Amino acid sequence: MALLELDELETYYGTIHALKGISLKVERGEIVTLIGSNGAGKSTALKTISGLLKARRGKVTFAGQTISNLAPHLVARLGIAHVPEGRRIFPRMTVLENLEMGAYHQEDRKQISRDLERVFSLFPRLKERISQKGGTLSGGEQQMLAIARGLMSRPEILLLDEPSMGLAPVLVEQVFDTIKELNREGATILLVEQNALQALQVASRGYVIQTGSIILTDAADRLRRNSMVREAYLGEA
């Protein structure tokens, strides 16, 4: 049984049909990527999983439980952490306060301390900035903080939405190195990313979404060699 499964999921923005019956699976321990152009429905899929948007039809199943249309805080309690596009950190809170917000439903203070040490080992820069306001961090540091805040909830799956957006190339490499490290430690990740080449290099499998429909799915290495993917998403002739 897959850890996360979408079955014929349909989501609307008013009268706009944003997701048109998409189905996908993420097995425990995998990195699965969802690639596509702007407006294809990638972020909508993650928002529907995490409860920020309501599905009109179809269902979302997590660890064998149907979670379609649960409130976001209940989805988070089940073990799904959504790191949204644009980072969405709390700019007036310190780095430490942002991280503590990620652990808001945890009650074991000793475990929270251990989790803080874990994220600081992954992101040493955040430890250096522990008392700094989130809004004063660089773009790369804010992305580190957004991912670290998600990890503080001790999720079973991490939904990452455009983690490389707006970052300099050297920081993009750091972000994807972190994604690979998290996966080596056992994290399950559903990755939405416009940088299709980077995404397909770290993922084991991928789905291509176009105007709200899944048009192609395959192992990541085969998608990298697919002529349509190469032309449309990797910038190759």
pLDDT in tens, the chain (237 residues): 899 999 999 999 999 999 999 999 999 999 999 999 988 999 999 999 999 999 999 999 999 999 998 999 999 999 999 998 877 888 899 999 989 988 877 777 788 888 898 889 888 899 999 999 998 998 888 988 999 999 988 899 999 999 888 778 888 888 899 899 999 989 999 999 988 999 999 999 999 999 999 999 999 999 999 999 999 988 775
Which long-range CB contacts under 8 A does 59-63 form with residues at least 24 apart? 59/6, 59/7, 59/8, 59/9, 60/4, 60/5, 60/6, 60/7, 60/9, 61/2, 61/4, 61/5, 61/7, 62/3, 62/4, 62/5, 62/157, 63/3, 63/156
Domain tally for the chain?
A: 1
Kindly report the pTM of this predicted structure. 0.91
| CATH code, 226 | 3.40.50.300
* Residue 229 domain boundaries: 1-79+188-237
Residue 155 placed within a domain:
no
The answer as to whether 110 is a domain residue is no
